[in-house]
Amino acid sequence: MWQRFTQEARKIVFLATEEAGKHGESHVSTEHLLLGILRADNCLACQALRAMSADPAELRSKIEEQIGSGGSHLAEDIQLTPRAKRVIDIAYNEARRMMNDFIGSEHLLLGLVGEAEGVAARVLSAVGIDLDRARAVVTELQQATGAASPAHATANSTRKLTGRDLIGISDLDRSDIYLIFDTAKRLKTAMSPEEQRKLLTGKTLAMIFEKPSLRTRVSFEVGMTQLGGHAIYLAPSDIQLGKRESIGDAARTLDRMCDLIMARTFAHSTVVELAEYAGVPVINGLSDLEHPCQALADFFTILEKKGTLQGLKVVFVGDGNNVAHSLMLLAAKVGTNFTIACPEGYEPRAEIVAQARRDAEQTKAIIDIVRDAKQATAEADVVYTDVWASMGQEHEAEERARVFAPYQVNAELMKLAKPDAIFMHCLPAHRGSEVTDEVIDSPQSVVFDEAENRLHVQKAVMVLLAQK
Ligand code: CP
Ligand code: NVA
């Protein structure tokens, strides 16, 4: 059974045996395996735990809270409990899934998370670690440290975002989402500017804008500069997509010269068509249907502020628009409960709601549509709003102002949310309409952290899509 174990994984099992003995047990159980991992401080599993913001000392004390720290037993032979055996079986399966021909500390960690019932799994779950997230971090760390077996490096799932498009949230699975978050976190907090400049050296991003933008344009352009690449801004009047030439011809031309395309369009079909014709990855920088980069930055912000996404209640008060669509789809994928309060006739599109509810079957997220903003906001962890008339709907602004008046996020509404609830807005905000100054300028408001995170998350997206 042990022949495929790396030196490090064997050491962890040995340390786990010692831990079992120290705790007066004759059998090695899941908690002893986790304690063994924590003692092998530099192992890939420990690096993965730190990358997921889990503090080894805190994990150790959580385990000891459950199993006590006394007792003594001289362990002569390695005897595993049935749960620990299951951990090893899962570790083997995880290694196979990652096409690794060895069992390392990282696979043992995935085994512990995947086993789901033992003390270790419960302690890891309590600090927000689940299997998808752990897999994403481990595969990425393997790539960063060269730990994956070279023969399989190109098939490794760390590469699975390479060359793909990001048109909508449905292009991503849960592990892709956590891979983006973990990469964004490393870019934001751990990598030097010099290291970052090497990531996209010599690469060019074409940015097509059919609509105005501040955050999207600046974050993509600054992002490319920081990653050592270059971004070209193509204003509506420059290329006149579909008028001066067909969408397909523009896409095929950009494909010959650029490494990535980002497009902000009116019709969602335009960004879909660009992706059909361009071989290089196409990123949706907002269409009438979705704003996936915004939702990714928003959930990254929620994770930063709340430490977890699962089981939180995000309430969107206002129009069932592009931003609401992407937030709802993302909430369903990561297990966050999502309620939208909107007037009749302004609900999210039925196919988006249906997709979100299908995804939510896996994660048990509740996806709800209600009329009453007050009812929706009760006990919310996050209160989110967006403009009542999106770009392209300016002619409806007056009518919408009337219909949406009961949906203003003001101090009275915020009082119904949890006391530590945060307020979010994708910006630009129409102060005095969908949100009052009092709320957007309050200590609960995280709107500028959210805006800043557009930069970190999109840098992660670009690196992951464009890496060779
Ligand atoms: N939130 C957002 O996408 O902002 P811009 O429209 O300014 O890009
Ligand atoms: N729903 C808004 C978002 C702006 C970032 C719009 O489409 O105009």
Interval 140-152: pLDDT, tens = 787 666 665 433 3
Categorize the per-residue pLDDT at 154 as very low, low, confident or very high, splitting at 50, 70 and 90: very low
Q: Cis peptide leading into 236, omega within 30 of 0?
A: no
Please determine whether the domains at 169-291+453-466 and 294-446 fall in the same fold group of CATH: yes
d(CA 158, CA 85): 27
Mean pLDDT of 223-250: 95
Residues 6+ apart with CB under 8 A from 154: none
* Homologous superfamily of the 294-446 domain (CATH): Aspartate/ornithine carbamoyltransferase (3.40.50.1370)
Fold of 2-154: Double Clp-N motif (1.10.1780)
Mean pLDDT of 393-419: 98
Residues 6+ apart with CB under 8 A from 146: none
Given ligand 1 and candidates 209, 211, 216, which is best to mutate, with the most ligand atoms within 8 Å of its CB? 216
pLDDT exceeds cutoff 70 at 194:
yes
364, 335 in Cβ contact below 8 A?
yes
Amino acid, res. 357: R
Give the residue, by CA position, lying nearest to ligand 1 atom 1.
426
- Ligand 2 pocket (Cβ < 6 Å) reads 286, 321-323, 386-387, 390-391, 426
Amino acid, res. 84: A
Q: Name all contacts of 187-193 with Cβ < 8 Å and 24+ positions apart.
A: 187/456, 187/459, 187/460, 187/463, 188/453, 188/456, 193/226
Break the chain into its structural domains and give their ranges. Answer: 2-154, 169-291+453-466, 294-446
pLDDT exceeds cutoff 90 at 315:
yes
Tell me what percent of the residues of the chain surpass a pLDDT of 70. 94
pLDDT exceeds cutoff 70 at 159:
no
For residue range 28-68, what is the model confidence (pLDDT) as tens digits? 999 999 999 999 888 999 989 988 989 888 899 999 888 87
The rounded Å distance from CA 291 to ligand 1 centre is: 9
Which option is the CATH number for 169-291+453-466: 3.10.450.50, 3.40.50.1370, 3.30.70.580, 1.20.1250.20?
A: 3.40.50.1370
pLDDT exceeds cutoff 80 at 76:
no
> 6-10, 67-71, 81-85, 440-444 — which one is most confidently predicted on average?
440-444
Tell me what percent of the residues of the chain surpass a pLDDT of 90. 77
Average pLDDT, the chain: 92
- Ligand 1 pocket (Cβ < 6 Å) reads 213-216, 286, 294, 426-428
The rounded Å distance from CA 361 to ligand 1 centre is: 31
**213 phi/psi in degrees, rounded to 5:** -165, 145
DSSP-derived 3-state class of residue 308: coil
